[in-house]
Amino acid sequence: MTTSEIIVTGIGVGRGLVVGDVRRMPDPLPEPAQTTSTRTADDEIVRATQALGETAADLRARGVQAGGVAKEVLDALALMADDPMLLADVTKRIESGSTAERSVFDAFAGFASIMQAAGGYMAERAGDLGDVANRVIARIMGVSAPGVPQSTTPFILVARDLAPADTALLDFDIVRALVTTDGGPTSHTAILAREKGLPAIVGATGAEVLVDGDVVIVDASTGDIVLHPAAARIDEALLEAESRQAAREGATGPGRMSDGHEVALLANVGSSTSASAAVDAQAEGVGLFRTEFLFLDNDTAPSIEEQQVEYSAVFDKFPGQKVVVRVLDAGADKPLSFLTDEGEENPALGRRGIRALLAHEDILRDQLTAIAQATATTSADVWVMAPMISTVEETEAFVGICREVGITKAGVMIEVPSSALLADHILDVADFVSIGTNDLTQYTLAADRLLGTVANLQDAWNPAVLRLIREVGLAGERTKKPVGICGEAAADPVLAVVLIGLGVTSLSMSPTALADVRAEISRFTLAEARQLAERALSARNAKDARAAASLAFTH
């Protein structure tokens, strides 16, 4: 590094390497003044109602254009703008003499405070409320809402955070990479960037030094942003970027290490649409089929027949291939009125996942019955797993019900330390396990995976997390049963090699990550992966573990 270069570090998303000029996201609109309205209350209510409706429609239109996960996020934001309780709050404030824009600001702020107090996923969504409020207020004022800078030349976007409505419709020919000071690897920004294949670095707390026009190198594989790079460094980065792209394009076929050891590379999907993207990316099957899309935003659970149709639509896209279905994972960040308890002080540690399903066994049985019926009419190799297993007893209960309805391959997710440490006993009962590294990391480090203030702790490279994964891998080897990874860690190409060294037999990820992971694991033998794993395990923190693995081999 030359003396003029400055290194800013965050958490990388993907393996992209980009050189470009910085453009910063504009600041939000100023807080509306607390003044008495000069209009009638009826006029102000019309202004607010119209702006809320137009904002909701705009968000839905953006969702249709973006598709995939982005559509789900934007539809959820549109529901916020359409919320009748929010409109009632706005109306009440206007009738007390406030302006439409100030009433909207205060109403959204009140809702955001409630969501912040709830913690977890709800707290993260509170930040999204601020963006929706900005868009509504801009419409009331007749001005443009802050958004992605307009440009005809490519740039690297730097922001405090990026609203889902902006991330969803980024022009990837113009925005070459994304840097945010807030958020972690499982924030909505990171998830959408990963889905779109956009190189990103999140949680880069020192990125405030970056200003418009700065030339930077963004390396998502290391999480480094190099400010004022020397000419030689830029040339080196451009060559490395070409090399990575060539390796990515040349990586095809099943997942295989350089010694021939096979590791199934699967995709995470949440609908038949995302399943099509997985097929296009040469996924060898599905390692995580999220079924929540059938249940969220409903007052009652869908019927067996309705569920069967949706499951069959996904199964039929993978003839002869594995499809791992996760039964409904509700609670904490995904409350459902007909399933989860209201008023829990800490829902992340309450009745969620399998606990909620076993408390409402009829819903679980209906879902398993629908899956079994869909399985009977497809050639896909369907496996089923339960979320948030903590004990052997929960495993026995779930597997028992699966057997009753005719499901032959029943497994569980390892997402909390207790199940990782009991993996040998759990695998005596279950046919397989799949490790959800997002939740395993947050519960191991006691750090909310969606809270920006503790994003630095949400890192699956932490040796404590890796040691728990090794326990599961050893249990899989002893019982000769499959151990998969379906968390975001599987999409980190270097970490993927380490995970294989820890005993993992399959990796499931966003379809856009498959090519990078396929290329990376092909560079190593199984013996080398095990050596990498030992180096990472012996580290004292996540940074050292990542560095030890990254520098161990120079293929």
CA 219 to chain centre: 20
Residue appearing with tokens 């730097």: 158
The helix-helix angle for 68-82 and 272-280 (nearest 10°) equals: 150
Please classify residue 298 by burial: count the beta carbons closer than 10 Å to its beta carbon, then call 0-12 exposed, 13-18 middle and 19+ buried.
exposed
Q: Is the dihedral of CA 98, 101, 102, 108 positive or negative?
A: positive
Sort 187 into a burial class: Cβ within 10 Å, 0-12 / 13-18 / 19+: buried
Annotated catalytic residue, options 188, 228, 402, 555 = 188
- Would you say 401 and 418 are in contact if contact means Cβ atoms under 8 Å apart? no
What are 534's two structure tokens?
């030992």
Asked if 385 and 326 touch (Cβ cutoff 8 Å), the reply is yes
Q: Let me know if 425 is a catalytic residue.
A: no
Cβ contacts of 306 within 8 Å, gap of 6 or more:
294
User: If residue 123 lies in a helix (H) or strand (E), which one and from where to where?
Assistant: helix 120-141
Q: Choosing from 228, 261, 425, 486, which is the catalytic residue?
A: 486
What is the tally of helices (H) and strands (E) in the chain? 21, 16
Task: Give, in order, the Cα–Cα distances in Å from 442 to each of 83, 101, 392, 484, 497.
Answer: 31, 38, 21, 19, 22
β-bridge pairing 11-13 and 200-202? antiparallel
Is-catalytic flag, 188? yes
Rg (CA), the chain: 24
The length of the chain, given as a count of residues: 555
Q: By the 8 A CB rule, do 486 and 434 touch? A: yes
From CA 434, how far away is CA 324, in angstroms rounded? Answer: 9
Is 378 strand, coil or helix? Answer: coil
DSSP secondary structure string, 283-352? -SEEEEEE-GGGTTT-SSPPPHHHHHHHHHHHHTTSTTSEEEEEP---BTTB--TTTSPSS-SSGGGSS-
CA atoms of 555 and 210, how far apart (whole Å): 33
Question: In 10 A of CB 209, how many CB atoms?
Answer: 11
The long-range contacts involving 168-176, CB below 8 angstroms and separated by at least 24 positions, are 168/62, 168/63, 168/65, 168/66, 168/70, 168/71, 168/73, 168/74, 168/192, 169/62, 169/65, 169/66, 169/70, 170/196, 170/198, 172/196, 172/197, 172/198, 175/148, 176/18, 176/20
Q: How far apart are alpha carbons 363 and 361 in whole angstroms?
A: 5
- Give the pair of three-digit tokens for residue 293: 């899309």
| Gap between the Cα atoms of 185 and 204, Å rounded | 11
Residues noted as catalytic: 188, 486
